[in-house]
Amino acid sequence: MGNRLLSVVLLLAAIAVIAYSPVLNNDFVSYDDYKYTTGNPFIKDGLSVEAVKWAFSTFYFSNWHPITWISHMADISIYGFGARGHHLTSLLIHAINGILLFFLLYSLTNKTLECAIVAALFAVHPLNVESVAWVAERKNVLCAFFWLATLIAYVSYVRRQTLGRYLFVLWLFSMALMSKPMAVTLPFTLLLIDYWPLGRFKSGQTVLKNHPTAGLAAEKIPFFLLSVISSVITIYAQRQEGAVISFDKLPLATRVVNAIMSYAGYIGKIFVPLRLAVFYPYAEEKSPVVIVSTALVLIMITGFVIIKKKNAPYLLMGWLWYLGTLVPVIQIMQVGAASMADRYMYIPAIGLFIMIAWGMAAIISFRRFAAAAGIAAIIALMFITARQAGYWRDSAALYTHALDVTEDNYLAHNNYGQVLMKQGRFDEAIVQFKAGLEIMPSNDELNYNMWQALSAKGTPDDKYLLNAAAIWFHGDMAALYKKAGIGYFNKKKYNDAVEFLLKSLMINKKDAEGFNYLGMALQETGQLKEAAMAFNKAAALIKAKD
């Protein structure tokens, strides 16, 4: 590696670490972090044979991503339960990703300035804070690591086509898929770099030398097959866990409009990365004029890059990269309740960065001026990123910031209310749950949490419990009472656990799990005879079922 390239690599690593350094002082946040770390019984003991087997066999939390699970296990083994080590791992992977992106583009184009600008924008852009600062999004930075490594290996394969190199590319791609299934669009990006900068559509560098396009498509068949398999597994996993929102709850027309507005909205956040939040609820319906105008702008950009494809092929490549890699997360198939998310741009933004860097170099003939403009933008982004990373320091800061920069954010109200409840600030929690219910009165979790907060104050209102039962459990009060009982048991409120488990079992007398929890709760309260009876009943029900 020459001195110039080494300097670029060191600079990329430095600016990434400086911009994201606040994450090293951050705690875990309540929004899913504990499900990936110390709150997960299969993760909390670190790496083991049994834990790795679990990672490859589970659909826990609506996904199949064994490599991600294993990375969290490794963190526990290395760092223990503290958050700093987990944040350090994510930060290091992100910094490496910036360096990999530079080497990928440099190996393709040999353009130091343009490649450095793209990699630097990626390394410090505030939109990537969510992927780096959120421990639960380790899957995003890990997937990108294998994604970029796949593309680098692919370039090596193209220049010396051997079976071993081809299989190595396939293996890296499988690792990306096992980190996060968003990698299903990676084969599409292979075709894009075939178009530019490799220029393989005209060169006939495949087994079908006289039919380059067909040859390139045939070359990618195993990659697309892996994408199809991963997509089927992911859809199954998400449906099993109930993560997919039905079209009855969110019509297709609403999703299409949201996709159009999101494509435009993400571009806006690239250029003005302010008012970023952990959750963006669906906004009020836009007027037909706004929707049509936005769609026309996107169509016009598409037309422009097609017209310029001969003289500026990087524009078409970058634009298609952006459009294509966002497809799995543009929420046509709605997973979760968010309309869009910053983390979804971790890979797609690379396409826009390519358009910016190469476009700026083409427009500004004086390269020193282009470099100066790029440096100024990157320094400004570093300050914004450091500030944004600070909002992830703990759960309270994260949710209050989301409430400050978004409107009608019922999820932020709900999650902040839960934080306040854990701190014993029940009156303040009730204010948050009430605000959330004014926005989303039919939300099961808000109703349930409002009931819990009022109960903790000694003023329970079963209206909220009944609302939660009707929505959450479709009127199944036994299931709801059982959930409440297990919740109290986990909080070591054993008398309350006994009360609600008994209510549940009065309705559903054949619930073996319910009797088992009742036995454990009775045991903790010293009622050993009653506990033994509950355990015996659970055992009898299990035996009868078998």
Residue 260 CA to residue 352 CA, distance in Å, equals 17
Q: Alpha-carbon dihedral of residues 253, 328, 244, 438, nearest 10 degrees?
A: -60
Angle at 406 between CA 402 and CA 411, to 5 degrees: 60
CA distances from 443 to 284, 304, 307, 447 (A): 17, 44, 48, 6
| Domain 476-546 in CATH 3.30.70.20 | no
| One-letter amino acid for residue 200 of the chain | R
Q: Greatest CA span in the chain, whole angstroms?
A: 87
Residue 241 CA to residue 332 CA, distance in Å, equals 18
Which residues, 6 or more positions from 378, have their beta carbon under 8 angstroms from its beta carbon?
Answer: 15, 117, 120, 121, 124
Nearest residue to 72 via CA among 59, 85, 56, 91: 85
CATH topology of 408-475 equal to that of 476-546? Answer: yes
| Domain 408-475 in CATH 3.30.1490.20 | no
What does pTM read for this prediction?
0.86
Residue 169 CB neighbours (<10 A): 23
CA distances from 7 to 2, 100, 148, 184, 413 (A): 9, 15, 21, 34, 46
Residue 130 CB neighbours (<10 A): 22
Q: Which two tokens stand for residue 522?
A: 């009775």
Q: Which two tokens stand for residue 395?
A: 């759960």
**Residue ranges per structural domain of the chain:** 3-237+251-390, 408-475, 476-546
Residue 62's H or E segment, with its range, is none
pLDDT tens for the chain, 546 residues: list them.
678 899 999 999 999 999 999 999 999 999 999 989 988 888 988 999 999 999 999 988 888 999 999 999 999 999 998 999 999 999 999 999 999 999 999 999 999 999 999 999 999 999 999 999 999 999 999 999 999 999 999 999 999 999 999 999 999 999 999 999 999 999 999 999 999 999 998 865 655 555 577 889 899 999 999 999 999 999 888 877 666 777 777 888 889 999 999 999 999 999 999 999 999 998 878 899 999 999 999 999 999 999 999 999 999 999 999 999 999 999 888 777 788 999 999 999 999 999 999 998 888 766 677 778 888 999 999 999 999 999 999 999 999 999 999 999 999 999 999 999 999 999 999 999 999 999 998 888 898 899 889 988 888 777 776 676 665 555 577 887 888 888 788 878 899 889 889 988 988 888 988 999 999 999 999 999 999 999 999 888 877 765
